[in-house]
Amino acid sequence: MSRNEERPAKASQLSFLLLMVESVLIFALGIYMVALGFTHDKDWLPYLSVTGFAFVGAVAMFALAQGAKIGTRWANSPAILANLIALGVAKYQFEAGVYWLAGPISIMAITVIVTSLIKIKQSGEPH
């Protein structure tokens, strides 16, 4: 394996790993929301919408992880978009002073964005 082929392979592996972690975390958020449904009073429509969005998001991130694992190009743009949204979430967490949550979200999102951009750049170069 040449050096040019090794870099995108590492980027794909890192993207896969981080997207899987994001998928598991989003799924865990959905489970947490279900648990809150049994323990807290709430307005049901927004609550069910957020819970459903968490489960759909977890499945989508899992699909993106599988796409990154096999090196398909279709997974790059949605992975970048999802992680740009995560950076927006991290911004609000920073503003709220929840640094222990904002820091890891930012690091993970930036890493996925950079590795996806590396994969895109490398896929356009001749081998």
Query: What sign does the CA torsion over 98, 103, 104, 105 have?
Result: positive
Longest distance between any two alpha carbons in the chain, whole Å? 59
> What local confidence, expressed as pLDDT, does residue 125 receive?
62
First CA to last CA across the chain, in angstroms? 11
The segments of the chain whose pLDDT lies below 50 read: 1
> What local confidence, expressed as pLDDT, does residue 45 receive?
81
Paired tokens of 68: 């990154």
> What local confidence, expressed as pLDDT, does residue 1 receive?
47
Q: Where are the alpha helices (DSSP H) in 71-98?
A: 76-95
CA distance 61 to 49: 18
CA distance 49 to 46: 5
> What local confidence, expressed as pLDDT, does residue 73 receive?
85
**Radius of gyration over every alpha carbon of the chain, rounded to an integer in angstroms:** 17
